[in-house]
Structure 1
Amino acid sequence: MLDSKTTGIVAYITWIGLLIALVAGDREGAKFHLNQALVIWLAGLFSVIPCIGWLWGIFCFICAVIGCIAAINGEEKAVPLLGSIKLLK
């Protein structure tokens, strides 16, 4: 079982990390970061759109880095533009 800080960090790494965090992590303690990571990875799917998609992909990558840094520091800092979306309750 992962603690809440580790769960938040792992969730931002890759899709597999997000799945590991959801299954083996502290879901209640890291709910904020799990939600943020899920929103970022789902929004990243739009990066396949030609021309503007690569800009969106870079933006999503930067959001993931910002979220991971916030998880490392133990903060619940919302990422720009995507941070207000809540998918997990």
Structure 2
Amino acid sequence: MDAKTTGIVAYITWIGLVIAFVLGDREGAKFHLNQALVIWLAGLLSFIPCIGWLWGIFCFICAVMGFISAVNGEEKAVPLLGQIRLLK
């Protein structure tokens, strides 16, 4: 997969993130792989009742923003979570 496709697939689901990381262009899409990983890990907090549900909605919106950024071929960081770097 090329870098754009890898970035798009990473935002779809956990499985898409794993597929993008294993089969995709890791160097070209490192920004989107990192953002998707941070968003999906932060989304795990959505299992907390009440406040977690709002956090889950925020993470979903961030995933949609990241997906749109990947489709457009841009590297725009999502709010709050975009500054976190897990992949070097």
Alignment of 1:77 onto 2:76: yes
* 1:23-34 → structure 2 map (5 Å cutoff): 23-34=22-33
Q: Which residue of 1 aligns with 2:41?
A: 42
Q: In 1, Cα distance between the equivalents of 2:36 and 2:51?
A: 22
Q: In 1, Cα distance between the equivalents of 2:50 and 2:22?
A: 36
In structure 1, runs of 5+ residues without a counterpart are none
Tell me the matched-pair count: 88
Identity of aligned residues (%): 85
In structure 2, runs of 5+ residues without a counterpart are none
Deviation, structure 1 residue 33: 0.1
User: Which stretches of structure 1, 4 residues or longer, exceed 2 Å deviation after superposition?
Assistant: none
TM-score (norm. length: structure 1): 0.98
Deviation, structure 1 residue 78: 0.1
TM-score (norm. length: structure 2): 0.99
Aligned amino acid, residue 62 of structure 2: C
Deviation, structure 1 residue 86: 0.0
Deviation, structure 1 residue 62: 0.3
